[in-house]
Amino acid sequence: MKLTGSQIVVECLKEQGVDTVFGYPGGAILNIYDELYKHDQEIRHVLTSHEQGASHAADGYARATGKVGVCMATSGPGATNLVTGIATAYMDSVPVVAITANVTVPLLGRDSFQEIDITGVTMPITKHNFIVKDVTELADTMRRAFFIAQEGRPGPVLVDITKDVTAAVTEYTRQEPWPVLRSTEYIKDADLETAAEMINKSERPFLYVGGGAVISNASEEVRALAHKINAPVGDSLMGKGAFDGRDELYCGMIGMHGTKASNFGVTDCDLLIVIGARFSDRVVGKVSKFAENAKILQIDVDPAEINKNVMVDASIIGDVKEVLKRLLPKLDENAHEDWVKHIEEYKNKFPLKYDPAGLTGPYVVKELYRITEGNALIVTEVGQHQMWAAQYYKYKEPHQLLTSGGLGTMGYGLGAAIGAKVGCPEKTVINIAGDGCFRMNMNEIATAARYNIPVIEVVINNHVLGMVRQWQTLFYGKRYSNTILNDNVDFVKLTEAMGAVGIRVTKKEEFEPALRKAMELGRPVVIDCIIDKDDKVFPMVPAGAAIEEVFDQDDLK
C-alpha cells in the first residue's frame, strides 16, 4: 500500500511493538506528530518539558523494561538537546532509538533555519546513525535502527529524516521485526577450556560483575558460578543487581567508593573473573597495581573491550549468559574455605558505617530499603547520593538500579524515573537526587504532574555540590570554588507550583511518614531531605591511586 513517510515511521514503530514515545514537537517533525495524533490509542506520546528529558526518559524506559526506548525531537536545537541523553545511553549500552527531523533536502548544507548536521554531531556517541533523504529507504532504515540498537552490545541509534521525506509517498509492506539473537559466534571451545582450567586451578578466585551481566539477564548464571566455586563477588556501579546484594558471598562495590572488602579482595585474589565489565577508571584506579597478584579472565560481548584498559590473561567473547551456561558444566565444585574466611574477616572488620546521630544520606537510603522491603526500582542522579544509593540499598535483581555510570550525567534521574514508571507502572519508582542535580532538570516534575506519573523524588539536599565539595575538602585545601548552593530556592514551593506534592524533612523521624505518604498518594512527590553540607561518601580511593589505598573516616582520624 502507498503511505507517506510519516505514516511509514508510525507503522514501523508499531511493527517493533513500540507503545510509548517521549518527545517534543517542532516545525520539521510536524508531519510525524500529525500522524502520531491519529494513532494515540496505539502509541502513547509523553510530552516532556525539554528534549533532554525525553532522551533520559527513553533511556530509563529501556533500562527498566529491557525494550527499546524511543524519543523524538525536531531539527536544530531540538535534535542537539537530545545529545546528552544519547551520550548517556551510549556510555551505558542502552538500546534507544532517537528519531529527529531535518530541513528538506534542497535546504541541507545551507545554514537553513533550525538546520544542524545531527548525524555528524552524534557520530561518536551512537552505535550507528542515519540520515534518510529518500522515502523508499525509510522503512528499512527504521528496521535496521531497531535491530542495531538491540543486537550484540546494545546502544543508541539515531535516525534523522528530512521533512520532505516525511511528506513523500512510497509503497509500504508490513514486516515482522528482525530477530535479535544472543551473540554466540565468537564463543570458542578452546577459550572455554582455558577459562575452566584457570578457574579449577585457582585457590583465591574473585568475581567482578559489571553491567553486561545486567544487560544479558545473567543473574542466575552468575549466582550459580559464584556458589559452585564459592568465590566472593564484587560489582561495579552498573553491575548492581546482577548478583543479589543480600547473598553471603557479596562483598560490595569495587573501586573509588567501593568497600574495603571488595578492594582488598581484588588485590589479594589469584584469579579475577571479570563478567561483563569494561575496567572503568573509577573501578580500576592505578592500572599497574590493579589485581597485580592475579591472573585475569574477562568475559564480554564486545571484542573491543578485551585488553583495552587492562591487559588480561584469557578472555571469552560472547553474550555473558550464553558463555556462563557453557562454562558452568566444565567447572569443579570447590569450597575455597580459607579464602572465603579471609574475605569474611575483611567484611567484619571494615563494614560500611556512617554517623547515626542525624539525618544523613546513608540513613535515607537505608530507610528507603527497609520501607520498600527492597522492592523499589531505584533511579539516581550523579554525585554523593548516587554512591550512597549504591552502597546502602541492597539490589537483588537486574534492572533495579538505573543510573548514569559511564557519562555521569547530572540531571539524568528524573527523566529516567518518568520513563521507568511509564514502562513499569506496577513498580514503586524512586529517584534519589542531590539538590544540584535536581536543579538541572527539575522542570520534568511538571511532566510527571501533567500525566500524573507517580514517581517519588527524594532530594538529598545539602545546599552544596556535595561530591565536588568533598574533593575540595580533601584535596583542594577547602577552597570551595562555586560549589555552594545556599540560596533561597524552596523546592517544596517549586514542586507545588508545578502541580506535584512537596514534603520537607529535616529530622530522622520525619522521613518514614513522608515516604509512606508519598507511596500512598499515587501522585508525583518530592521529598526534600535537608542534610549537613559536609557529610561525605566513604570509603574513598584518591584519583589515580591503587584501589587498596582505599580510606575511610577512621583512617582520616
Q: What are the catalytic residues?
A: 51, 113-114, 163, 467
Spatial distance between the Cα atoms of 35 and 5, rounded to a whole number of angstroms: 10
Contacts of 288 (CB under 8 A, 6+ apart): none
Cβ-count burial 249-288 (b if 16+ within 10 Å, e if not): bbbbbbbbbbbbbbbbbbbbbbbbbbbbbbbbebbbbbee
Separation in Å, CA 484 to CA 382, 439, 466, 472: 17, 13, 9, 12
**Please, are residues 400 and 377 in contact by the beta-carbon 8 Å criterion?**
yes
> Per DSSP, which regions of 103-187 are E strands?
128-132, 157-162, 169-171
HSE toward the beta carbon, residue 230, CA cutoff 13 A: 14
Cis peptide bond N-terminal to 179, omega within 30: no
Cβ-count burial 196-223 (b if 16+ within 10 Å, e if not): bebbeebebbbbbbbbbbbbbbbbebbb
Cβ-count burial 74-96 (b if 16+ within 10 Å, e if not): bbbebbbbbbbbbbbbbbbbbbb
N- to C-terminal Cα separation, the chain = 75
Do β-strands 169-171 and 233-235 pair in parallel, antiparallel, or remain unpaired? unpaired
**Please, are residues 474 and 545 in contact by the beta-carbon 8 Å criterion?**
no
Q: State the cell numbers at 522.
A: 499515587
Spatial distance between the Cα atoms of 495 and 493, rounded to a whole number of angstroms: 5
SS3 86: helix
Query: How many DSSP H helices and E strands does the chain contain?
Result: 24, 20
